[in-house]
Structure 1
Amino acid sequence: LRHHIGKSFDQIIRDPEIKLEQLLSLDPAIGDGVRKEWLDQIELDIKYDGYIARQERQNSRIERMEKLRIPEGFDYDSVESLSAESRLKFKEVLPATLGQASRISGVRTSDIAILMIHLGKKNGSAPI
């Protein structure tokens, strides 16, 4: 615990080597009367908070992609930086949204990003 001096409680508990029980053993009065299941849940919530926040941001981004409409009759040939393979697949499938386009087999992630930027420019909005 020496290398944690000066750090906040949640910074210390995020360390995978540190267990909440170790910290509570320094001052047993802190966790006195608190059920072990609750302490375990508190520890997990703190340790995984960053991962959960990242997943929530990703879910939000996916949700926005699902709603970003591709105009009917969109000219994929006008987006020069799309790969030939993705351009062909887009023209065959004619996805209605960016989310649908992202699920087309063989379409590159980079092409989805390019399409997203292009659609954002056309709609006058920022990329997702």
Structure 2
Amino acid sequence: MAYTEEDVLRTLPGVRPVLEQVAHKWTILILTFLCEEPKRFNALKRRLDGITQKALTDALRRLERNGLVERRVIASSPVAVEYAITPLGRGLQEPFLLLYDWAVEHQSDLATAQARFDRRAEGRPG
């Protein structure tokens, strides 16, 4: 669906916070991993190389608040917490896969463009 500039400006106040949540640094990876199956906190942390415990906790709370992830406490010893994607969150699976496919297809194009930009910024021929 194509949007006119007027459509975008009219809907921006409501859409902008949604896009900011979905485009947050770890959101796409967390939701992609949860699409496979529910996961415990530490399993997610291991999959997300480089994420801190605080960043993962904050991201999961944000996703839970937005209805994209649900949290379930598992009565075990010790008590465990498992996260699962909700039907609302699963609706993002197809767009995320399309975005991922685009990134795979164009990663070298982006690297080439970045190198060309950096050479010009340093005053070298592009």
TM-score, scaled relative to structure 2: 0.25
Higher strand share: 2
Structure with larger Rg: 1
TM-score by length of 1: 0.25
